[in-house]
Amino acid sequence: MEVVMRDVVKRFGNFTAVDNLNLTIKDGEFVALLGPSGCGKTTTLLMLAGLYKPDSGEILFDDKIVNDVLPKDRNIGMCFQSYALYPHMTVEENIAFPLKLKKLPKKEIERKVKEIAGKFQIEHLLKRYPGQISGGQQQRVALARALVKEPNLLLLDEPLSNLDASLRISMRAEIKKLQKELGITTVFVTHDQAEALSMSDRIAIMNKGKLQDIGTPEDLYMRPKNMFIAGFIGNPPMNFLEVGFNVEGDKIILRRNDFEITLPKEISANYMKKQNDERVILGIRPEHLSIGNEAPNTIKGEIFVVEHLGKDKLVDVKVGNDRIKVLTGQDFEGKMGDMVNVHLDLKNIHLFDADDGNSMKWAA
Amino acid sequence: MRQLEMEICENVTSKKASMEGLRKFLGALPFLGPFLFLIILFYLVPVTLTFVMSLTSMDYVLEWKFVGLENYLRFFQDSGVKTVVLNTVKYVFFTLIINVGFGFLLAIATSYFIRNENIRLLFQTIWMLPRMTPPVVYALLWLWFLDPTEAGMLNSFLGKLFGIPAQNWILNNPMKVVIIANGLIGASLGMVVFSAAIKSIPVDYFRAANVDGASDWQIIRYVIIPFLKWPIMFMTIWQTLSLITSYEYILLITDGGPLNKSEVWSLFSYHKAFSNYEFGYGAAISMVLVLIAVLIAILMLKVFGYDAIMRRGNVDGMRGEAGDESNKNHVAV
Amino acid sequence: MKAIKIMSPSRIAIYLLLAAVSFPIVFAYLWLFSGSISDELEFGIVPKGITLENWRFLWSEITIGTKVFENIWPITLNSLLLAGSITLLEVLISLLAGYALSRMNFPGKDFILKTTIILHAFPGVALLIALYYVLNYIGMIDKIAGVVLIKVALELPMATWMIKGFFDEIPWEIEWAAYMDGCSRLQAWYKIILPQIKPGIAAVAIFAFLAGWSEFIYSYTFIFSSENYTLAVFLKNLIGDFRFLDYGLLAAAGLFYMIPVIAFFLISQKSLMTIKFGGIKG
Ligand SMILES: Nc1ncnc2c1ncn2[C@@H]1O[C@H](COP(=O)(O)OP(=O)(O)O)[C@@H](O)[C@H]1O
Ligand SMILES: [Mg+2]
């Protein structure tokens, strides 16, 4: 089922929780709704579910406006952050509940419950109550309940956030696999960018009620439209440094009192439309920085702290009053207080307007 | 806020806000109707009626003969009123001390000192008994206990042990009896509320105090009492409110006697109305009391704030049950 | 750490003190029991010989002089009727109102909530005179139904407040899940929400029943015909006449009247201990 949200607005009193949201989710697509806590993700999901009604704008399922369709008539499967299992029903009754409401014959209900329980490996729990099973098992039951009625749309609200780390990672793969198997259009809410990056076909990234961008994980990672996206996607997050912007001939020079970077011609071409001497934000990810010999076009700084990340080391370097993070190999030997030269992979730099935070590459 | 949404969703849009409000109210009416009806009929109407009646000389014929403020003038000149008001003040003050003070001691003893769950429960159950006993039976127990003959419990006890001659306790000390009898009932409420408050103190405070080597007394003084300040204040006002207008137990035990010696304000109004059939005068007496009660209620709202009182509904509400299990280690450190 | 601790002297003193102040209460209730099965007691409560004579009101008339007391069974039935009706109405009405106040939004809700809080603290007995007039006006004076209505009305604010609390505790997500699964509002209400607050409803019902069963002042004031008497009024009259004469009979009648309360204590000993007793009596 294709889902379209058109100019959707949701207010709580004077507070606008979702601001003019436009979003198209293609049939069978797995879209993650990503953003910090309180940015309006759940509100968006609840509007899709029909539990909240938009103050203005339209929601369409397969070209049909559904604003006034009751939740129960939308054929949506939903899985809540708290799982929302019915505590007074056994696992079996929980899963069977949507089917019972559809007045399916008993035999068929039994068959379907068995089948889905098998898929989620919870057959042995069917007779237990939600209070008697673990969080991970509850989560599977909630998913089973959402999927048993073969919904047209699956809504998942931070379904993994209450699980422990290792379970979370294995569930990611399982949900993704299942979704592809069943081909159900799915909206997955999360505030965890790693989750969004690893699971979804496309990511819609939200901040303060506004949709920032929607695109494939690669898109958002490689070509962030603004500083918010750049900072939110990628871990460890992108470094930002305020610099002066100068054009000299066909080259751009980024300058501040402690370093100066000259961009080669082919990269400069992306950013030419700025005025001289304006302040801009240089963004570069830790993985695109390295520590090397003294050379022109590098940044000099002092090691502030070295964090061990297992496979890598994350080096925190003090540059003037700023600090930048550099991802290095495990063999990096630097210590606190050492002076180092940070090399930039200039192909992977981003420049943002200091005023509105938009990428200068995409401002056109 | 959230409930609002379902409401809207179940109905197709109606644009005007006031229409929407009316529609919502009508939607809630089937649920609220019986509630509102009874509240209006048995609270709102009676309050109004009490006031109007107080301006009449109504008697058992229930005729409205308006006499202006005559009842009130009479009330303020009635020589018996002085005793009654004095009794009321004494009664409320000393009963409160038992309710709150003794309730507090019971709470500390049962919730802090007693660490065995079963023994704690045993004592708390014992102290709940008077409150749960029907008033008539409770009064019967007192009448028997204080029976003026040799057969009376207290008399035979004191007589056998100390050779003290039998005496008529109720006749000699009506106010004391009334105060203690009511105090024991209120004390259990104090115990329950304060115990809940003690149990809700985070266990870390006790741990920290123990690590610091605090004595029991110091823990009570510096950990428990600061936490109980609020519930204690609340209980005081709450109980005042209920004490000034309640007279059931007094009616049953002394009926205000002998010779008005234990007559309190609310009972005075009752007697005027239902013994002397002076409904108008009785209403005036009640009205003054109702006004005082309302003032205290407003004071309570001012002091504690509406929200805090809303929450209080939960403090001594059924929440104890679940809290009990999870919190029971609080003091067992 | 806690197991092997030797009790400190101060703790022992507290135990003893608590036992001492609690003793008279236990004693009084023990008397009620032993007094009812014996016509002579030693040391106040030790029965000397067992007799059922005190329980004669169950199978024969009680007389004093020429006065004949009512048979206890119709009166017991009245009390059951009174307490039962109060329970039923109170639970039903507070369930409805509590739900609306918890989960619906309508103009005036805030006002109703605040009023309920104040009424919760407002003692209805202060209004007895006017209540007499109201009952008389609607033709419910001297009727059990009249007392039922008053008692329900006066307990409603508290019951509604409690029930509202139970509804408040049910997460919205559970209700939402029910809608997503295909429930209508009504279905969600009785299939999902009500089952979850069952224990709360039971507690409210028990307290309503006990309050109705113990009810004295309204029956005493508003009921005059002996065929409408309740146990409370009956016992009050019995006390009036048999005090000083036959405590055994009074103890037995009192104990008989206490049966539901005792049953409550035995059944719910643990779980209901800490439950709401507030605002019922002073
Ligand atoms: N029912 C409500 N009433 C008032 N404010 C709400 C309500 N639901 C959500 N909000 C507010 O709207 C914003 C978005 O909430 P939500 O959609 O739950 O965020 P999240 O992205 O964390 O899921 C938050 O600031 C929240 O406080
Ligand atoms: Mg959320």
Q: Edge-to-edge strands of the sheet including A298-308?
A: A289-292, A339-344, A298-308, A312-319, A322-329
Torsion of CA C86, C87, C90, C91, to 10 degrees: -160
CA A269 vs CA A254, A357, C74: distances in Å: 14, 20, 102
Q: Looking at residues A192-211, what average pLDDT do you find?
A: 93
Mutate to test the pocket of ligand 1, among A41, A42, A43, A44 (most ligand atoms within 8 A of CB): A43
- Cβ contacts of residue A182 below 8 Å, gap of 6+? A147, A150
Ligand whose nearest atom lies closest to the CA of A39: 1
Domain that holds residue C27: 9-51
Q: Report the range of poorest mean pLDDT among A314-323, C58-67, C73-82.
A: C58-67
Of C178, C180, C192, the CB nearest to A49: C180
Residue-wise pLDDT for C248-266, tens only, equals 888 899 999 999 988 888 7
Contact A249, A229 (CB under 8 A): no
User: C76 and C40 share a domain?
Assistant: no
CA proximity to A187, closest of A63, A9, A45: A45
Please indicate, yes or no, if residue C112 is contained in any of the structural domains: yes
Which chain C residues contact residue B136 at CB under 8 A?
A: 216, 232, 235-236, 239, 254, 257
User: A223 and A245 share a domain?
Assistant: no
User: C36 and C147 share a domain?
Assistant: no
User: C126 and C164 share a domain?
Assistant: yes
Residue-wise pLDDT for A70-106, tens only, equals 998 999 999 998 899 999 999 999 999 999 999 999 9
Please indicate, yes or no, if residue C86 is contained in any of the structural domains: yes
Look at residue B61 and give its three-state secondary structure: coil
CA gap C75, C151 in Å, rounded: 18
Please indicate, yes or no, if residue C212 is contained in any of the structural domains: yes
CA proximity to A288, closest of A254, A261, A328, A258: A328
Q: What is the mean pLDDT of chain C?
A: 84
Residue-wise pLDDT for B179-231, tens only, equals 999 999 989 889 988 988 888 888 888 888 888 888 888 888 888 988 888 88
Contact B132, C265 (CB under 8 A): yes
Please indicate if any CB of chain C lies within 8 Å of the CB of B8: no
Please indicate, yes or no, if residue A359 is contained in any of the structural domains: no
User: A226 and A251 share a domain?
Assistant: no
Q: Looking at residues A25-43, what average pLDDT do you find?
A: 94
Please indicate, yes or no, if residue A362 is contained in any of the structural domains: no
Q: Do C129 and B115 touch (CB under 8 A)?
A: no
Q: Which residue has the tokens 């909206």?
A: A187
Q: What is the pLDDT of residue B319?
A: 28
Residue-wise pLDDT for B222-261, tens only, equals 889 888 888 888 888 888 888 888 889 999 999 887 888 8
Please indicate, yes or no, if residue C63 is contained in any of the structural domains: no
- From A169, A198, A232, the end of a domain falls on A232
Q: What is the CATH number of the domain that holds C89?
A: 1.10.3720.10
- Phi, psi dihedrals of residue C77, rounded to the nearest 5°: -60, -45
- Tell me the residue type at B266: S
User: A247 and A227 share a domain?
Assistant: no
Q: How confident is the model at residue A274 (pLDDT cuts 50, 70, 90)?
A: low
Q: What are chain B's partners, defined as 3 or more CB pairs within 8 angstroms? A: A, C
pLDDT at B138 over 90: yes
How many domains is chain A built from? Answer: 2
Please indicate if any CB of chain A lies within 8 Å of the CB of C196: yes
* Residue B41, both tokens: 């009929």
- Tell me the residue type at A279: R
Q: What is the CATH number of the domain that holds A144?
A: 3.40.50.300
Which chain C residues contact residue A88 at CB under 8 A?
A: 195-196
User: C19 and C111 share a domain?
Assistant: no
More confident residue, B240 or C86: C86
Please indicate, yes or no, if residue C61 is contained in any of the structural domains: no
User: A257 and A114 share a domain?
Assistant: no
Contact A274, A248 (CB under 8 A): no
Q: Do B5 and A68 touch (CB under 8 A)?
A: no
Percent of chain B's residues with pLDDT above 70: 86
For the Cβ of A94 lying below 6 angstroms from any atom of ligand 1, the answer is no
Which chain B residues contact residue C35 at CB under 8 A?
A: 144
The protein residues having their C-beta less than 5 angstroms from ligand 2 (an ion) are: A 42
CA proximity to B283, closest of B28, B69, B86: B69
pLDDT at B322 over 60: no
Q: What is the pLDDT of residue B16?
A: 54
Please indicate if any CB of chain C lies within 8 Å of the CB of A9: no
Q: Do B47 and C127 touch (CB under 8 A)?
A: yes
N-term to C-term CA, chain A: 34
Please indicate, yes or no, if residue C2 is contained in any of the structural domains: no
Q: How confident is the model at residue B88 (pLDDT cuts 50, 70, 90)?
A: very high
User: C91 and C38 share a domain?
Assistant: no
CA A280 vs CA A221, A274, A347, B169: distances in Å: 20, 9, 17, 93
Please indicate if any CB of chain C lies within 8 Å of the CB of A65: no
Residue-wise pLDDT for B146-187, tens only, equals 888 877 788 888 888 888 888 888 888 899 999 999 999 989
Q: What is the pLDDT of residue B3?
A: 44
The string of DSSP codes covering C9-22 is HHHHHHHHHHHHHH
Q: What is the pLDDT of residue C28?
A: 87
Q: How confident is the model at residue C41 (pLDDT cuts 50, 70, 90)?
A: low
CA gap C180, C191 in Å, rounded: 14
* Residue B290, both tokens: 């109702």
Torsion of CA C110, C112, C117, C121, to 10 degrees: 150
User: A297 and A153 share a domain?
Assistant: no
Q: Do B135 and C281 touch (CB under 8 A)?
A: yes
User: A253 and A177 share a domain?
Assistant: no
Domains and CATH numbers, chain B: 52-76+271-317 (no CATH), 88-263 (1.10.3720.10)
Please indicate if any CB of chain B lies within 8 Å of the CB of A71: yes
Rounded to two decimals, the pTM is: 0.79
Please indicate, yes or no, if residue C4 is contained in any of the structural domains: no
Query: How many contacts does A have with C, using Cβ atoms within 8 A?
Result: 57
Q: Which residue has the tokens 């960018």?
A: A193
Which residues are paired to A359 by β-bridges? A352
Alpha carbon nearest to ligand 1 atom 7, residue? A12
- Tell me the residue type at B222: Y
Please indicate, yes or no, if residue A287 is contained in any of the structural domains: yes
Please indicate, yes or no, if residue A265 is contained in any of the structural domains: yes
Please indicate, yes or no, if residue A364 is contained in any of the structural domains: no
Please indicate if any CB of chain C lies within 8 Å of the CB of A69: no
3-state secondary structure chain A: CCEEEEEEEEEECCEEEEEEEEEEECCCCEEEEECCCCCCHHHHHHHHHCCCCCCEEEEEECCEECCCCCHHHCCEEEECCCCCCCCCCCHHHHHHHHHHHCCCCHHHHHHHHHHHHHHCCCHHHCCCCHHHCCHHHHHHHHHHHHHCCCCCEEEEECCCCCCCHHHHHHHHHHHHHHHHHHCCEEEEEECCHHHHHHHCCEEEEEECCEEEEEECHHHHHHCCCEHHHHHHCCCCCCEEEEEEEEEECCEEEEEECCEEEEECHHHHHHHCCCCCCEEEEEEECHHHEEEECCCCCEEEEEEEEEEECCCEEEEEEEECCEEEEEEEECCCCCCCCCEEEEEECHHHCEEEECCCCEECCCCC
Q: Which residue has the tokens 């709450």?
A: B238
β-pairing, A251-256 vs A259-263, is: antiparallel
Q: What is the pLDDT of residue A286?
A: 94
User: C29 and C153 share a domain?
Assistant: no
Of C182, C192, C196, the CB nearest to A72: C182
- From A197, A232, A267, the end of a domain falls on A232
Q: What is the mean pLDDT of chain A?
A: 91
Please indicate, yes or no, if residue A358 is contained in any of the structural domains: no
Q: Looking at residues A130-151, what average pLDDT do you find?
A: 92
Domain that holds residue A346: 239-353
Q: What is the CATH number of the domain that holds A309?
A: 2.40.50.140
Percent of chain A's residues with pLDDT above 90: 66
For the Cβ of A42 lying below 6 angstroms from any atom of ligand 1, the answer is yes
Contact B37, C149 (CB under 8 A): no
pLDDT at A2 over 50: yes
Please indicate, yes or no, if residue C134 is contained in any of the structural domains: yes
User: A24 and A103 share a domain?
Assistant: yes
For the Cβ of A37 lying below 6 angstroms from any atom of ligand 1, the answer is yes
User: A189 and A324 share a domain?
Assistant: no
For testing the chain A interface, which of C175, C180, C184 should be mutated: the one with the most A CBs within 10 Å? C180
For testing the chain B interface, which of C17, C89, C105 should be mutated: the one with the most B CBs within 10 Å? C105
Locate the chain B residue with the closest alpha carbon to C134: B46
Locate the chain A residue with the closest alpha carbon to C192: A86
Q: Do C171 and A82 touch (CB under 8 A)?
A: yes
Q: What is the mean pLDDT of chain B?
A: 81
Q: How confident is the model at residue A363 (pLDDT cuts 50, 70, 90)?
A: low
The counts of H helices and E strands in chain C are 12, 4
Please indicate, yes or no, if residue A49 is contained in any of the structural domains: yes
More confident residue, C269 or A330: A330
Q: Looking at residues A237-259, what average pLDDT do you find?
A: 88
Q: What is the pLDDT of residue B111?
A: 87
Ligand whose nearest atom lies closest to the CA of A158: 2
Alpha carbon nearest to ligand 1 atom 24, residue? A38
CA gap C141, C134 in Å, rounded: 9
How many domains is chain C built from? Answer: 2
Q: Do C183 and A101 touch (CB under 8 A)?
A: yes
Residue-wise pLDDT for C177-218, tens only, equals 999 999 987 888 889 999 999 888 988 998 899 999 999 999
User: A219 and A317 share a domain?
Assistant: no
Q: What is the pLDDT of residue C63?
A: 75
Q: What is the pLDDT of residue B12?
A: 36
User: C122 and C262 share a domain?
Assistant: yes
Q: What is the pLDDT of residue B112?
A: 87
User: C138 and C253 share a domain?
Assistant: yes
Of A12, A13, A70, the CB nearest to B9: A70
Which chain B residues contact residue C265 at CB under 8 A?
A: 125, 129, 132
Q: What is the pLDDT of residue B310?
A: 61
Q: How confident is the model at residue B9 (pLDDT cuts 50, 70, 90)?
A: very low
